[in-house]
Amino acid sequence: MAVIAVVDYDMGNLHSVCKGLERAGATPKITDSAREMELADAVLLPGVGAFDPAVQHLRSRGLEQPIKAAISSGKPFLGICLGLQILFESSEEGHEPGLGIIKGKVRRFRPEPGITIPHMGWNQLEFTQPKCLLWEYLAPHPWVYFVHSFYVDPLDTTVRAATVTHGSQSITAAVARDNLVAVQFHPEKSSNIGLQILSNFVAQVREEIAA
């Protein structure tokens, strides 16, 4: 069975993510060990909270290089919510440098009439990489669950795998590049659609194991 290392750095609801992975047929392993991340079949980086404490916690636990090593090794990697944002170079939320794995910045939503900040609740995805493995078996424009006040702005727009519209702003909802995928929404809170997305990730991991 696919073993997925769920990175523990005190910034996320690990229980709900792990339950989602178990329902998708994987074996989640909560860890802050570089060795366990290296031995796992895939790595999942969750995250809820603020940018600066997140990267500070990662660095204080010596997890920055293991995360970069996991991604460069080619094994499947999934970031969720804050776990997407800290892959970028910097954030308007704080002053700490991000991991810089994806070029670009995390930006604050612009206030405008009629929109709520944080962007909270259900919204529809617009696929920009419709053949991305995460989207298999999904109908166009599926509804998923968001909770965030900041959004990622990649320099290379081709890494966008999906966008979402909030007010007049169309923002990146997911990125995909090679073995790395990361989403701004919460699959573990997105009902059957979210379970299918996690199942698609687990299926990708199984394919890598079998290859």
What is the pLDDT, as a whole number, of residue 181? 98
Give the domain CATH number at 88: 3.40.50.880
What is the pLDDT, as a whole number, of residue 24? 94
What is the pLDDT, as a whole number, of residue 83? 97
What is the pLDDT, as a whole number, of residue 93? 96
Whether this prediction's pTM lies above 0.85 is answered by: yes
Burial 66-85 (b: 16+ CB within 10 A, else e): bbeebbeeebbbbbbbbbbb
Which residues, other chains included, contact 208 with Cβ-Cβ below 8 Å and sequence gap of 6+? 41, 42, 75, 76
Q: Which segments in the chain show pLDDT lower than 50?
A: none
Domain count, the chain: 1
What is the pLDDT, as a whole number, of residue 89? 98
What is the pLDDT, as a whole number, of residue 10? 87
Distance of CA 152 to the CA centre of its chain: 11
| Residues with catalytic roles | 81, 186, 188
Q: What angle is formed at CA 181 by the lines to CA 99 and CA 157, rounded to 5 degrees? A: 80
Domain extent for 95? 3-210
